[in-house]
Amino acid sequence: SHLRSTDIRTDNSPLQIFVKAKKKINDIFVEIEDYVQDTVGFMKSLQAERNIVTAEEGERIESYVDKVHAIRDVLKRDHMKVAFFGRTSNGKSTVINAMLRDKILPSGIGHTTNCFLQVEGSDNGESYLITEGSTEKQPVQSVGQLGHALCKEKLCESHLVRIFWPKEKCLLLRDDVVFVDSPGVDVTPNLDEWIDKHCLDADVFVLVANAESTLMVTEKNFFHKVSTKLSKPNIFILNNRWDASASEPEFFEQLVKEQKEVRAQHQERAVDFLSRELKVYTPKDAEERVFFVSAKETLQARLQEQRGQPSHNGALAEGFQTRYFEFQDFERKFEECISKSAVKTKFEQHSQRGKHIATEIRQTLDEILDRTQKMKSEQLHIKKEVHDKLNYTEQQLMLLTQEMKDKIHHMVEDVEQRVSKALSE
Ligand code: GTP
Ligand code: MG
């Protein structure tokens, strides 16, 4: 039932932009590979027969076989990457779990994320983890086990543990989205290392802020650093724990009023940060990047739905539905943003290179064709010359024979005349 409920989204999910583009560019590279192979075969046959193709040309074209193959390998591994940052306990791991619709990452007290965790889809329904520098697949059956495995590893905070989770359990994983969870930005002096190691190929960044407090200098600094290394990073700001943000005033009206004010203030600061400070968006576009959500509620609701129970079981706080919709709204905008960005950053380069290879091969083939045509016309020319010469000789011979005939004729006539003259005399 869990897959059924998410299936509905499949066809119109903006992630399909990336999925379809990936399929298309893969198909194109299969064609390019065929084309290169054919050309290599053709050139070999030419080389064997005559000296129409130079050894250099042959080698150059043959080198494209490996190049195209390497691109196809990279293409297979290309994915969309989203990285989550924020201060400790803001709910980064919970946000990821909510998006994955399952408690995959350990969260909460005693489960502080202390290194980089990358969640990606696995085939064949396998779940396992691989630590940095190792190729060993450590099987993981549950979150508890995962938490345990992570604790015993004694990992350095900038290290990366890759968690492979069955693709069929989550549409985002199936559609090649890779999630990166991080330790709190407030606990490390190594932000530069973090950025170099984990952020340069991220398509989208999500700042998980705490709606109960304002954006902190450490959080801002991190994104300032990111934007010096990446021009115009895609950033979303989630004001998480929005369910817990209101104080507990006596009257409902009071609560609504307070929440409105708090929201307006957070919104203004976040927009200001994205537009005026980081200069990554116009204020108008920045408005679209800020959300007020509760990851905890969303995750709970989704787990409930999967059990076939209503998402709202009455125990949830006031305003749950609005926050839940806002989380879904965030996901939709996120999916659109990440798939478009990934298509651009990942496939633009590949298509340029594919184009370049096709052009190079075409040029070489054109040159070869040119050369063979020249050779052909040269041969024709020689043939014609010989032909002309033959004609001339033939004509000369004909003339010559005619002349001789005439001469002999004359001679005979002359002799005849002389003989008859002599006889008559
Ligand atoms: P570190 O890994 O320690 O940096 O923290 P984190 O940012 O990953 O936070 P985590 O997801 O572990 O959440 C910390 C605590 O906050 C957990 O107990 C969560 O259940 C709780 N929490 C997360 N999101 C929300 C939320 O939206 N509302 C409320 N009320 N609690 C939340
Ligand atoms: Mg965490």
Q: pLDDT-derived band of residue 55, with 50, 70 and 90 as boundaries?
A: confident
CA of 147 to the centre of ligand 2 (A): 11
| Token pair recorded at residue 8 | 């509905």
How many other CB atoms are found less than 10 A from the CB of residue 386?
Answer: 10
Q: pLDDT-derived band of residue 3, with 50, 70 and 90 as boundaries?
A: very low
**Average pLDDT over every residue of 315-324:** 79
> What is the per-residue pLDDT for 189?
78
> What is the per-residue pLDDT for 154?
66
| Token pair recorded at residue 235 | 């950033």
Structure ipTM: 0.99
**Average pLDDT over every residue of 224-239:** 94
Task: Check if the beta carbon of residue 42 is closer than 8 Å to that of residue 368.
Answer: no
Sign of CA dihedral 151, 175, 302, 96: positive
Range in 54-63, 253-262, 320-329 with the lowest mean pLDDT:
253-262
Q: How far apart are CA 202 and CA 6, in angstroms?
A: 25
Testing ligand 1's pocket by substitution, the residue of 84, 93, 94 carrying the most ligand atoms inside 8 A of its CB is: 94
Q: Which percentage of the chain shows pLDDT scores above 90? A: 45
Q: Which residues are within 8 A (CB) of 113 and not within 5 positions of it... i.e. 6 or more apart?
A: 92, 93, 105, 106, 181, 182, 183, 184
H/E segment holding residue 62: helix 55-77
Q: pLDDT per residue over 13-48, tens digit each?
A: 899 999 999 999 999 999 889 988 988 888 888 777
| Token pair recorded at residue 116 | 């980089």
| Token pair recorded at residue 70 | 């390497």
State which ligand 1 atom lies nearest to the alpha carbon of 106.
12
pTM (two decimals)? 0.82
Q: pLDDT per residue over 355-404, tens digit each?
A: 898 888 888 888 888 888 888 888 888 888 888 888 888 887 777 777 76
Per DSSP, the three-state class of 237 is strand
Testing ligand 1's pocket by substitution, the residue of 84, 87, 88, 89 carrying the most ligand atoms inside 8 A of its CB is: 89
SS3 content of the chain, % helix, strand, coil (to 5): 65, 10, 25
Q: 63 pLDDT exceeds 50?
A: yes
Q: Give the C-alpha distances (Å, rounded to integers) separating 330 from 293, 323, 338, 344.
A: 9, 10, 12, 21
Q: pLDDT per residue over 108-164, tens digit each?
A: 877 888 889 999 999 988 999 998 888 989 888 777 777 777 776 667 788 899 999
> What is the per-residue pLDDT for 45?
82
Testing ligand 1's pocket by substitution, the residue of 92, 99, 107 carrying the most ligand atoms inside 8 A of its CB is: 107
Given the DSSP bridges, would you call strands 177-181 and 116-122 parallel, antiparallel or unpaired?
antiparallel
Q: How far apart are CA 255 and CA 259, in angstroms?
A: 6
H/E segment holding residue 210: strand 204-210
Q: How far apart are CA 330 and CA 72, in angstroms?
A: 33
| Token pair recorded at residue 57 | 């040309």
CA angle 105, 110, 113 (to 5 degrees): 45
**Average pLDDT over every residue of 175-194:** 90
Q: How far apart are CA 53 and CA 370, in angstroms?
A: 12
Pocket of ligand 1 (CB under 6 A): 86, 88-94, 107-108, 111-113, 183-184, 240-241, 243-244, 294-296
Range in 31-40, 206-215, 310-319, 377-386 with the lowest mean pLDDT:
310-319
CA of 375 to the centre of ligand 1 (A): 77
Q: How far apart are CA 119 and CA 130, in angstroms?
A: 11
Q: How far apart are CA 176 and CA 163, in angstroms?
A: 14
Given the DSSP bridges, would you call strands 290-292 and 204-210 parallel, antiparallel or unpaired?
unpaired
Query: Which residue has the CA at smallest separation from atom 13 of ligand 1?
Result: 91
> What is the per-residue pLDDT for 4?
43
**Average pLDDT over every residue of 298-319:** 81
Higher pLDDT, 382 or 333: 333
Q: 169 pLDDT exceeds 70?
A: yes
Per DSSP, the three-state class of 163 is strand
How many other CB atoms are found less than 10 A from the CB of residue 293?
Answer: 28
Q: How far apart are CA 102 and CA 165, in angstroms?
A: 11
> What is the per-residue pLDDT for 339?
94
